[in-house]
């Protein structure tokens, strides 16, 4: 006998739907959701790293200019 897992979800219009999945389908869906969450976290980390890089480059350029103008010494 095939064991089913019932999951309640909302449709786009807000209607509650009951979806029946086999345990294998349910596990595959859970794994897919975990992969999506990991991908989102990676994208956010890359975005944060890139924004930090622009600050670093701006600060480096300022430092080089001050060094060239003799405002600071090496």
Mean pLDDT per 10-residue interval, the chain, length 74 residues? 69 83 85 93 86 80 89 79
Residue 40, pLDDT score: 93
Please tell me the predicted confidence (pLDDT) of residue 25: 85
- Looking at residue 30, what DSSP letter applies? H
- Spatial separation of the C-alpha atoms in residues 18 and 42, rounded to whole Å: 32
Domain ranges of the chain: 25-74
Q: Return the pLDDT at 12.
A: 84
pLDDT of residue 26: 83
- Per-residue confidence (pLDDT) for residue 2, from 0 to 100: 55
Instruction: Give 51: exposed, middle or buried? Use CB within 10 Å, 0-12, 13-18, 19+.
Output: exposed
Distance CA 38, CA 30 (A): 12
């Amino acid at each position: 006998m095939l064991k089913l897992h019932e999951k309640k979800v909302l449709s786009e219009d807000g209607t509650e739907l009951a979806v029946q999945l086999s345990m294998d389908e349910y596990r595959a869906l859970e794994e897919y959701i975990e992969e999506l969450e990991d991908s989102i976290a990676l994208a956010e980390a890359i975005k944060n790293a890139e924004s930090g890089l622009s600050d670093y480059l701006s600060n480096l350029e300022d430092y080089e200019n001050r060094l060239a103008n003799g405002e600071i010494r090496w």
